């Protein structure tokens, strides 16, 4: 157990899921710093002059990365950041994200990375919950950070990346001013390294706790056994590294095996496809929507260097898998993971893919399908997915949620699954009201709460409805107050209103004005009845 002040935020050990490193064939020393393992080990392997990061015209070697990490860690230490402190990162996928992420771990502090699209009110919740005093922020996001700090004065120090702004220290300036770095903190393998936030059905942010050993375990699990990542690989993808899917694919996995990563300056299907070609990427980490968008471009030319695509964040339609393989010749590995588990625990294997399936259990994990009484179900029957292995759920300061997610040592993901006699798992639906749209998890009640702040809205219910491109899109059913007309002008105003308050991907792409909503006898909205009336995606 970590022996820091942050212990008070961990759930009691008896509420943790069962964790087994032996079954996974993993063994880590008591003293372990994940940043050291991901950087210094590559120097010891002779990769000091090997490119670690490609970004536009910039190429950063492992040797240069190591120096930058040590220097930024020293600069942060001089500003009062120490072991166990939480440091917020609000950065796009740039070299500064990777340098900052590694420097925080190098220092023994805890990374709290947030999606760049979050708005000020969403940031404020995380700042308060994690008790953050230091943040490293892209300068374009500074206005939201300044607004949040007015209500969260505990945030004392804001460092910038991107364009310099007067009055704020810039991390590149700090790197230039620091001639030498500091040695890595001698953290324990079970010291907290990452606090990754997810959103549950209530819309409140929930921090999930991951140790230094967890970071290595996901690489030594799914990346090694399912993806076979090796030093000659070049990873590329569009998911933000603030999401654990992107963090694994674009940072942890390549650096664990001395490979290289390519970061996109700006995502479009065209830039993603061109990046795969220009950098001769061998592995692409993308949401299913992105693979479909690249196919829809119908651009000439193949991807001769790409050996694998890895699909995460939403279900991969079988037709997308087949079209991709026919067009480019490489397989797409679909898998399922969770922020609570850090990364994938079920994934397909090259040469053994069943299109439409999430694959089989990753080495070292166990998974089963259970009924509501937590009794295992036979193949073919729908039930709750339960999983356990070297990683597992530990919520930050959320005891009630911990007791819901972890039962009898199993992690209950909230997904409804079946599995077949070959051990392949098949996703059926979400148990709760989370909407998964183009790989983003969206909590319907959170959108409802914002809509209810608009003067025209009397009542609102938000659900996910089928969409052929995004899997699901957000749809709002709204009862208007007297005096308001449900016309196209108001519809557009409501959509813009949500965009201004929440990350843009959360806004309702569809709005239906209704005279009543279905309720239970106790007054709760029956969202399942709203979903049932929607036609299937064509």
CATH number at residue 482: 3.30.300.30
Helix, strand or coil, per DSSP, at residue 48: coil
User: Would you place residue 391 in the very low, low, confident or very high pLDDT band (cuts 50, 70, 90)?
Assistant: very high
Please report, for the chain, how many H helices and E strands are present, in that order: 17, 25
Instruction: Please state, as a whole number, how many other Cβ atoms lie within 10 Å of the Cβ of residue 49.
Output: 10
User: Would you place residue 524 in the very low, low, confident or very high pLDDT band (cuts 50, 70, 90)?
Assistant: low
Domain assignment present for residue 382? The answer is: no
Question: Is 373's pLDDT higher than 70?
Answer: yes
Confidence at residue 226, expressed as pLDDT on a 0 to 100 scale = 97
Residues 460 and 312 in one domain: no
Question: Is 200's pLDDT higher than 60?
Answer: no
- Nearest alpha carbon to residue 506 among 88, 122, 114, 112: 122
Question: Is 429's pLDDT higher than 90?
Answer: no
**Domain end residue (candidates: 306, 325, 357):** 357
Domain assignment present for residue 250? The answer is: yes
Average pLDDT of every residue of the chain: 92
Ranges 1-5, 65-69, 131-135, 377-381: which has the least confidence:
1-5
Task: Decide which of 79 and 428 is more confident.
Answer: 79
Residues 186 and 280 in one domain: yes
Residues 335 and 465 in one domain: no
Residues 336 and 455 in one domain: no
Over residues 75-101, the mean pLDDT reads: 96
Residues 440 and 314 in one domain: no
Domain assignment present for residue 427? The answer is: no
Confidence at residue 2, expressed as pLDDT on a 0 to 100 scale = 45
Pairing of strands 58-61, 86-90: unpaired
Question: Is 336's pLDDT higher than 70?
Answer: yes
Residue % of the chain over a pLDDT of 90? 75
Domain assignment present for residue 120? The answer is: yes
**Domain end residue (candidates: 339, 357, 375):** 357
Question: Is 306's pLDDT higher than 80?
Answer: yes
Q: Residue 168 sits in a domain of what CATH number?
A: 3.40.50.12780
Confidence at residue 141, expressed as pLDDT on a 0 to 100 scale = 92
Owning domain of residue 151:
29-357
Residues 347 and 478 in one domain: no
Question: Is 59's pLDDT higher than 50?
Answer: yes
Confidence at residue 204, expressed as pLDDT on a 0 to 100 scale = 67
Question: Is 7's pLDDT higher than 80?
Answer: no
Over residues 288-316, the mean pLDDT reads: 90
Residues 330 and 222 in one domain: yes
Look at the chain and report how many structural domains it folds into. 2
Confidence at residue 199, expressed as pLDDT on a 0 to 100 scale = 56
Highest mean pLDDT, choosing among 53-57, 266-270, 286-290, 411-415: 53-57
Residues 317 and 448 in one domain: no
Confidence at residue 299, expressed as pLDDT on a 0 to 100 scale = 86
Domain assignment present for residue 326? The answer is: yes
Residues 127 and 234 in one domain: yes
Residue % of the chain over a pLDDT of 70? 96
Domain assignment present for residue 522? The answer is: yes
Domain assignment present for residue 287? The answer is: yes
Q: pLDDT of 253-264, one tens digit each? A: 999 999 999 999
Please, are residues 250 and 261 in contact by the beta-carbon 8 Å criterion?
yes
C-alpha span between 110 and 101 (Å, rounded): 9
C-alpha span between 156 and 212 (Å, rounded): 26
Q: Give 140: exposed, middle or buried? Use CB within 10 Å, 0-12, 13-18, 19+.
A: middle
**Domain end residue (candidates: 340, 357, 374):** 357
Question: Is 522's pLDDT higher than 50?
Answer: no
C-alpha span between 524 and 534 (Å, rounded): 20
Phi/psi of residue 498, nearest 5 degrees: -65, -40
Question: Is 1's pLDDT higher than 70?
Answer: no
Residues 483 and 348 in one domain: no
Over residues 525-538, the mean pLDDT reads: 77
What's the DSSP call for residue 18?
Answer: P
Q: Which secondary structure element, helix H or strand E, spans residue 425, and what is its range?
A: strand 425-430
Confidence at residue 163, expressed as pLDDT on a 0 to 100 scale = 94
Please, are residues 50 and 61 in contact by the beta-carbon 8 Å criterion?
yes
Task: Decide which of 204 and 116 is more confident.
Answer: 116
Question: Is 520's pLDDT higher than 60?
Answer: no
Q: pLDDT of 91-118, one tens digit each? A: 999 999 999 999 999 999 999 999 887 8
CB < 8 Å & 24+ apart, contacts of 418-423:
418/369, 418/379, 418/380, 418/381, 418/382, 418/383, 419/367, 419/368, 419/369, 419/379, 420/357, 420/379, 420/380, 421/379, 422/354, 422/360, 423/360, 423/361
Domain assignment present for residue 424? The answer is: no
Confidence at residue 22, expressed as pLDDT on a 0 to 100 scale = 87
Residues 6+ apart with CB under 8 A from 448: 460, 461, 462, 476
Q: pLDDT of 215-248, one tens digit each? A: 999 999 999 999 999 999 999 999 999 999 999 9
Phi/psi of residue 391, nearest 5 degrees: -105, 160
C-alpha span between 237 and 276 (Å, rounded): 9
Confidence at residue 201, expressed as pLDDT on a 0 to 100 scale = 38
Residues 61 and 168 in one domain: yes
Residues 451 and 353 in one domain: no
Question: Is 538's pLDDT higher than 70?
Answer: no
């Amino acid at each position: 157990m970590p022996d820091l002040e942050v212990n008070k935020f961990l759930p009691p050990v008896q509420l943790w899921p069962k964790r087994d490193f032996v079954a996974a064939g993993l063994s880590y020393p008591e003293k372990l710093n994940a940043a050291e393992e991901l950087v210094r080990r590559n120097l010891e392997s002779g990769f000091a002059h090997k490119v670690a990061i490609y970004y536009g015209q910039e190429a950063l070697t492992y040797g240069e990365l190591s120096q930058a990490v040590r220097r930024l860690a020293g600069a942060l230490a001089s500003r009062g950041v120490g072991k166990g402190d939480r440091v917020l990162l609000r950065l796009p996928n740039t070299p500064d994200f990777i340098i900052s992420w590694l420097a925080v771990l190098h220092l023994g502090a805890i990374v709290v990375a947030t999606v760049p699209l979050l708005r000020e009110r969403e940031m404020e919740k995380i700042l308060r919950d994690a008790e953050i005093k230091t943040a490293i922020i892209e300068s374009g996001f500074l206005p939201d950070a300044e607004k949040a700090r007015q209500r969260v004065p505990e945030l004392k120090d804001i460092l910038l990346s991107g364009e310099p702004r007067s009055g704020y220290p810039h991390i590149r300036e700090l790197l230039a001013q620091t001639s030498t770095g500091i040695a890595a903190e001698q953290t324990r393998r079970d010291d907290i390294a990452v606090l990754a936030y997810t959103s549950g059905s209530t819309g409140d942010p929930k921090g999930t706790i991951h140790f230094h050993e967890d970071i290595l375990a996901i690489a030594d699990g799914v990346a090694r056994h399912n993806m076979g990542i090796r030093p000659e690989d070049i990873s590329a993808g569009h998911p933000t590294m603030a999401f654990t899917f992107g963090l694994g694919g674009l940072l942890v996995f390549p650096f664990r095996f001395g490979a290289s990563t390519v970061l996109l300056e700006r995502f479009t299907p065209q830039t993603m496809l061109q990046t795969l070609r220009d950098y001769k990427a061998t592995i692409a980490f993308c949401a299913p929507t992105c693979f479909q968008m690249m196919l829809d471009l119908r651009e000439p030319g193949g991807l001769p260097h790409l050996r694998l695509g890895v699909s995460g964040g939403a279900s991969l339609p079988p037709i997308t898998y087949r079209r991709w393989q026919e067009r480019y010749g490489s397989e797409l590995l679909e898998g399922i993971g969770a922020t609570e588990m850090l990364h994938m625990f079920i994934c397909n294997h090259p040469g053994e893919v069943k299109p439409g399936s999430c694959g089989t259990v990753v080495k070292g994990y166990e998974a089963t399908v259970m009924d509501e009484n937590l009794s295992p179900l036979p193949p073919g029957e729908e039930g709750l997915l339960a999983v356990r292995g070297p990683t597992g759920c530990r919520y930050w300061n959320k005891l009630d949620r911990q007791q819901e997610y972890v039962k009898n040592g199993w992690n209950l993901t909230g997904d409804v699954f079946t599995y077949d006699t070959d051990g392949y798992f098949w996703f059926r639906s979400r148990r709760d009201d989370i909407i998964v749209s183009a790989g983003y998890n969206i909590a319907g009640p959170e959108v409802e709460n914002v809509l209810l702040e608009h003067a025209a809205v009397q009542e609102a219910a938000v659900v996910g409805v089928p969409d052929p491109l995004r899997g699901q899109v957000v749809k709002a059913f709204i009862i208007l107050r007297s005096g308001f007309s449900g016309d196209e002008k108001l519809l557009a105003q409501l959509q813009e209103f949500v965009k201004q308050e929440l990350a843009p991907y959360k806004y309702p792409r569809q709005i239906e004005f209704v005279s009543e909503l279905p309720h239970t006898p106790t007054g709760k909205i029956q969202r399942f009845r709203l979903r049932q009336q929607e036609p299937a995606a064509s």
